[in-house]
Amino acid sequence: MYPKIVKNLLFPLHEKIMRRPTFDFAAELEKTQWLSRDALEQRQLDKLKALLNIAVAHSPWHAERIYKAQIPLTANQTLSFTDLARLPTMDKSDAQSHREQIAWAGVPGGRSLYNTGGSSGQPLIFYYGKERQASDAANRMRARRWWGINVGEREVFLWGAPVELAKTDRIKQFRDRLMNQLLLNAFEMSPDSMQRYIQAIEKFQPTCIYGYASSLTLFAKHIETQGKLPHLPQLKVVCTTGEPLYPNQRAIIQRVFGVPVANEYGSRDAGFIAHESPEGQMLASNETMILEILDPSGQPVAAGEIGEAVITGLHSQAQPFIRYRTGDMIKASAEQCKADRGLQVIDEVVGRSTDFIVAADGTIMHALAVIYVLRAIEGMGEFKIIQHSTTELEVQFVPADDYANDNRWQTVAEQEITQQLKQRLGQSTNIILKKTDKIPSEKSGKHRYVVSHVALPEGYTG
């Protein structure tokens, strides 16, 4: 489809039918990014006051905390970031266990349930609304324009979330093609599959390729072993997401595809947080969220230091995420945007990583292919998956509180986990299940929920 038709007709029509104000948000972001830092912070505070008033009116769990913190919310009162800091932080367990006391049942435009395992591996089901969806899409549209890519230009997604893959029927495929999008399965990264992906991408001729950092690295290494680089004259940038982008990964992706690599940082629960600019800086989406980088005692870290990303989603009205501890560790920066935008600069995202899993027949899969098996089990709390060999996989798991002593639940859950994992990894795979009271974190403070001790084939390692 011609990009201009997608940009000016099909995509705006799609968003209007979905009742999402995506293009209004996008137009706003194009202007506000050039505001001064002070002006942007004032916009954040204005949106924060509106969000907190919504929380007081519609979220009993938040309302109690806001009242106790004595946050000034009337029209004639001035709200500051110091006031926000008086509110206790919330975490994934709060969002899960108090979901119905936090969510706004009558949020304009309606709400939908979404789920994510997050970086801790602990499943989270939460509500999100039209504004949150639109703000994420608009932020991504703006980030693409930094790289000279407009709405409607061809984009390849090397992706694997079941939410998307479950819909890859003919209607969904037809819609993707109308929107100039091509979805390739990051859960299936065998040599044969990757060879097909090369052909599909060359035929599609995208301006952008988007996917997991590790999957794109594996794909690039496969291409390099073939001795022939793809011919992609329209390609402008490769965007990575889902995990930290390490220098060696950036180098091989850039070498193989011949364009710059831009890293993206966000999550399903916290939303779109930051994207790398052509000047090589991670710029936060300050118009749609407030980012705090805090030490273990809850104090802001100094520039150059690492702390936890704590997010307030300014458009999370359906289920407000206010001072939400993401579990992600990032390094603070004192830099200003080199292109004179007022957006906050992040030095580095250091706290997320995902391994690959190698099936018994040698098929290489993104680890999320097995993570989603655990996420889908009702009553599952935290978990950790350890691949000792291609024939042995260990699953450590902690039931949610309500299921901790339910022997019937454990029996059914273990049967489902074993069946689903064997379907993915091979029937000969020995699945070792270990129920435990707690899964310890890594030294970094993060919970690494997949660890594989299986070396990838020669040419794919490192």
Give 380's strand partners: 399
Task: Tell me the sheet residues that pair with 240.
Answer: 211, 263
Query: Which of 114, 139, 130 shows the shortest CA–CA distance to 25?
Result: 139
Enter the tokens of residue 248: 């060696």
Residue 366 lies in a domain: yes
pLDDT at 443: 46
On whether the CB atoms of residues 363 and 218 are closer than 8 A, the answer is no
CB 56 within 8 A of CB 74: no
Domain assignment present for 325: no
Q: What's the number of domains the chain is made of? A: 1
Q: Which of 120, 46, 89 is nearest to 299 (CA)?
A: 89
Q: Residue 459 carries which DSSP code?
A: T
Length of the chain: 462
User: Residue 437 sits in which domain range?
Assistant: 356-452
| DSSP conformation letters of 378-423 | TTEEEEEEEEEETTEEEEEEEE-GGGTT-HHHHHHHHHHHHHHHHH
CA distance 301 to 308: 9
Residue 272, in any domain of the structure: no
CA pair distance 5, 11, nearest whole angstrom: 8
Which pLDDT belongs to residue 354? Answer: 54
Q: Name the residue among 96, 167, 10, 4 with its Cα closest to residue 319.
A: 96
Residue 234 CA to residue 207 CA, distance in Å, equals 5
Angle between helices 213-226 and 191-204 (to 10 degrees): 90
CB 251 within 8 A of CB 317: no
Q: Compute the distance between CA of residue 416 and CA of residue 368 in angstroms, rounded to an integer.
A: 17
Would residue 399 count as lying in a domain? Answer: yes
Which pLDDT score is estimated for 357?
A: 85
Q: Has residue 72 been placed in a domain?
A: no
- Name the residue with tokens 């509180």: 401
* CATH code, 412: 3.30.300.30
DSSP bridge partners of 212: 241
Q: Could you list the mean pLDDT of each consecutive 10-residue stretch along the chain, which spans 462 residues?
A: 84 91 96 97 97 97 97 95 97 93 95 69 82 96 97 91 54 75 85 93 97 89 91 97 84 97 92 96 97 93 93 97 91 96 93 71 82 87 90 93 90 95 94 90 56 71 40
Q: Is residue 404, in this structure, part of any structural domain at all?
A: yes
Alpha helices in 309-393 (DSSP H): 368-375
Q: Is residue 390 part of a domain?
A: yes
Give the count of beta carbons closer than 10 Å to the beta carbon of residue 126. Answer: 22
Instruction: Specify if 427 maps to a domain.
Output: yes
Distance CA 402, CA 117 (A): 18
Give this prediction's pTM. 0.80
Are 417 and 432 in contact by the 8 Å Cβ rule? The answer is: no
